[in-house]
Amino acid sequence: MNLVRTWAVNRKEFLHIIRDPRSLGMGIAIPMLLLILFGYALSLDVDRVPLFIWDQDNTPASREYRSRFQGSRYFEISGLVDSYRQIEEAINTAGGLTVIALVIPEDFGGNLGSSSPPQVQVLVDGSDANTAEIAMGYVQALTDSYQQEILLKKAGLQGGQSQAVPVDQRPRVWFNQDLESRNYIIPGLIAVIMMVIAALLTSLTIAREWESGTMEQVLSTPLKPWEMIVGKLFPYFAIGMFDVLLSVLMGEFLFQVPLRGSVVLLFAMAAIFLAGSLSLGLLISIITRSQLLASQLSMVVTFLPAFLLSGFMYDIANMPGAVQVITLLVPARYFVALLKGIYLKGVGLEILAFEAGLLTVFAGVMLVAARLAFKKKLT
């Protein structure tokens, strides 16, 4: 491979990017915009859940029970009601005035600590199953805590020894102590954005040459296929690595996502992933020879699998068996696992060697496939 000819293609592609603000904007501005939009708009945290309360008892005991919800960061008391009709209207209102309603029965205070404890009713809007399930878990946890405190107080008033709790649960969360969804969304989001943007950028390169009529001139030169491919890839590789740098800086200083692992390993894995993604886009461009078709096909091949099947949003272990097999062909899956391991767990290749190896295989296969698909002839 002649470095002079390769550099000539590099220079030509760099000049085209500089002279075309749209390409430069697509390469730098769009990833940053997507990271900001998704980083702030996409959140799986469930807190400040709107809550309506119907306290039919209205005794000191029921008011103390209500105070548990008022003092919790997981709930926000939206109002006190006095009928099921008001609860129904609040839940059915477009946009939802409330997600959950708590009905405290009339005999709540009198039956506390007795052999037949009061049954508190919880009405939940199940249209959002994830939020509903988490909100019910919050209610259960607060109720159990309150009931345990009542039993301990009752045992103390009777002069007996307080009974030990059968199971003393003391959870300790590793790697993401505050359970902030942003801490694992941002690393995965970097992988998805890099996959999409990288494939989109190079999917237009060869197709543009064919549509503008300059490919015939390129084919008439002594330029070899590998020189053409490397020359086309390198400018976008440089832009992609710059995007990775900006993404890491934004994650660190804008979103306060902890980076516990090796920065060198992160950029090394990003370089391998970018090489494969850019080669995939170039392969699409070589096959289609049309900028419109190439951009559409690259979105289908990269965005949907990277967003849905990479483990970025949905746990792969919960997917059907057939879909789990398909995810093995999605390179973003391995890069997402690498980023989360490096970012949150601080682990290295001793744990992530399998994912790193498969990512390297992906990059090599895509490079070779692009080389084999590029024929230096007009047919």
**Domains with residue ranges and CATH for the chain:** 3-43+180-373 (no CATH), 49-157 (3.40.1710.10)
Query: What band does 274 get if pLDDT is binned at 50, 70 and 90?
Result: very high
Average pLDDT of the chain to the nearest whole number: 82
Give the model confidence (pLDDT) of 192-237 as tens digits.
Answer: 888 878 877 788 777 777 777 777 677 677 778 888 888 888 888 9
Specify the pLDDT at position 168: 55
* Pairwise CA distance, residues 287 & 284, whole Å: 5
What is the identity of the amino acid at 39?
G
Specify the pLDDT at position 313: 77
For the chain, list the strands marked E by DSSP. 49-55, 75-80, 100-104, 121-124
* Pairwise CA distance, residues 55 & 63, whole Å: 8
Is the dihedral angle over the CA atoms 51, 57, 58, 59 positive or is it negative? negative
Closest CA to 271 of 242, 307, 313: 242
Closest CA to 215 of 232, 233, 238: 232
Whether residue 50 contacts residue 99, with contact meaning beta carbons closer than 8 Å, is answered with yes
Whether the per-residue pLDDT at 94 is higher than 60: the answer is no
Specify the pLDDT at position 377: 55
The residue with tokens 């849905």 is: 308
pTM of the predicted protein model: 0.77
Specify the pLDDT at position 245: 92
Whether residue 70 contacts residue 77, with contact meaning beta carbons closer than 8 Å, is answered with yes
* Pairwise CA distance, residues 16 & 28, whole Å: 15
Whether the per-residue pLDDT at 266 is higher than 90: the answer is yes
Query: What band does 376 get if pLDDT is binned at 50, 70 and 90?
Result: low
Partner residues linked to 101 by β-bridges = 52, 123
In degrees rounded to 5, what are phi and psi of residue 113?
80, 0
In degrees rounded to 5, what are phi and psi of residue 100?
-145, 145
User: Residue 124: which H helix or E strand, with range?
Assistant: strand 121-124
User: Residue 322: which H helix or E strand, with range?
Assistant: helix 321-327
Q: What is the mean pLDDT of residues 14-36?
A: 78
* Pairwise CA distance, residues 43 & 255, whole Å: 12
Give the model confidence (pLDDT) of 59-89 as tens digits.
Answer: 888 888 888 888 788 888 888 888 888 888 8
* Pairwise CA distance, residues 8 & 324, whole Å: 44
* Pairwise CA distance, residues 178 & 259, whole Å: 15
Specify the pLDDT at position 286: 86
Higher pLDDT, 245 or 226: 245
Query: What band does 379 get if pLDDT is binned at 50, 70 and 90?
Result: low
State the first-to-last Cα distance of the chain, in angstroms, to the nearest integer: 24
Q: What is the mean pLDDT of residues 285-302?
A: 84
The residue with tokens 């029965």 is: 105
Query: What band does 289 get if pLDDT is binned at 50, 70 and 90?
Result: confident
Give the model confidence (pLDDT) of 104-159 as tens digits.
Answer: 988 887 777 666 777 889 998 887 777 788 888 888 888 888 877 777 776 665 55
